[in-house]
Amino acid sequence: MRCRALLFILVFGVLPNTAAAQIKIGIAEALTGNASQYGVAIRKGFELAAGEIASSGGINGQKLELVIEDEQGKKEEAINVFKKLIFQDKVLLLFGPTLSNSAQAADPVAQAAKVVVFGTSNTADGITSIGNYVFRNSVTEADILPATLKVAAQKTGLSKVAVLYGNDDIFTRSSYDNFKKALQDLKIGVTTTETFAKGDVDFKPQLTKIKGTNPDAIVLSALVAEGAPIMVQARQLGITLPFVGGNGMNSPRVFELARDHSDNLWVGSPWSVESSAPENKRFVAAYQKAHGALPDQFAAQAYDAMYIAAQAMRKLKFAANLDADRRALRDALPAVQWSGATGPFKFRQATGRDGKPAGYDAVQTAIVMVTKRNQYVIQK
């Protein structure tokens, strides 16, 4: 195929009979390129959950086979990988892709083929409106950002902000739209709105304009590749204001890329490494044992997604007909409720572009955090 895919086939199971039936799960994530800072952690979350499921007997005694492809964070590669996994590898369902841009491009392929596609890191508006085979457990920016802004405003006293967002990416544009609405609802004024594009490295012209408007904080809609340098350059210009970020800034990579300039970033997520829930403690301990490092939000959401799908798969009576199995899984998933690393979870149905019921979004509670000394600290 055209894409320079990195293919891993990982077989998880405990049955001694190698001829036993296997359930193929397709995973399309960005394992190389800029988006790999999310995709690699996602892959590790999936693998950890799959290994645990195998150790507990698999899916009613059947093995899980993970077919993992690198979609490189590119729309064209995501489409190619989806086609390969669906039509060549004949997977039961797909997880991925990593970015919302890629999901908007590739998810229609799964919808047309009537194969469940389950996003764990896509938070832009409109993803699940593509169709009724589209699911995600990544909480939308529309749900998270208002809570993040509200808590940040309460804790810092901000009443006016400057807005800086990426204008060439569906995720960052969607985040901007949701930030704009939340600011209006909270009656927080906007001193100026500035933009940038993916790949930009000099943000000082925008930041200089922002500094001149004297805001109380900077609302930032960015992926971490641009967001962290923005924070560094802001501090270099003497801007010590809080940053309020979206899902793309909720990554330990902030501490690597921004280093001593990473403090005072406010983000929201259904997950925090500091959560004291027993399920989260078990996940964090298992991840640390496997990888020698702490997990992030994206690993946690992938980990929970595998368990959510497993709950639905355990309800199926697998037939010889793959199309029937795919349809049965789609019918079983909406009713699944789960309490895992990211807390209590259930689905809610979205509305399609034609006004009819479509795919399924996550229902979860936001945890608001602020960065202090290379940690995300929960705010209550």
Could you tell me the pTM of the whole model?
Answer: 0.91
| Residue listed under structure tokens 């049965």 | 328
First to last CA, the chain: 50
What domains can you pick out in the chain, each with its CATH number?
A: 8-139+276-363 (3.40.50.2300), 142-269 (3.40.50.2300)
pLDDT reading at 18 higher than 80? no
- Interatomic CA distance for residues 296 and 274, integer angstroms: 11
DSSP strand E in 200-342: where? 217-221, 243-245, 265-269, 337-340
Residues 88-117 pLDDT 10s = 999 999 999 999 999 999 999 999 999 999
Q: Are 163 and 190 in contact (CB under 8 A)?
A: yes
- pLDDT digit string, tens, across residues 77-89: 999 999 999 999 9
H, E, C per residue of 93-158: EEECCCCHHHHHHHHHHHHHHCCEEEECCCCCCCCHHHCCCEEECCCCHHHHHHHHHHHHHHHHCC
Q: What is the mean pLDDT of residues 310-319?
A: 93
Q: Which two tokens stand for residue 359?
A: 């795919």
Q: What is the pLDDT of residues 31-49, one digit of tens each?
A: 999 999 999 999 999 999 9
pLDDT of residue 284: 97
For the chain, the average pLDDT equals 93
Q: If we measure between CA atoms, which residue out of 49, 7, 81, 68 comes closest to residue 306?
A: 49
pLDDT at 7: 43
From 112, 89, 122, select the one nearest 23 (Cα to Cα).
89
pLDDT category of residue 8 using cuts at 50, 70 and 90: very low
Residue 319 pLDDT class (50, 70, 90 cuts):
confident
Number of H helices, E strands in the chain: 11, 16
At residue 119, φ and ψ (nearest 5 deg) are: -90, 140
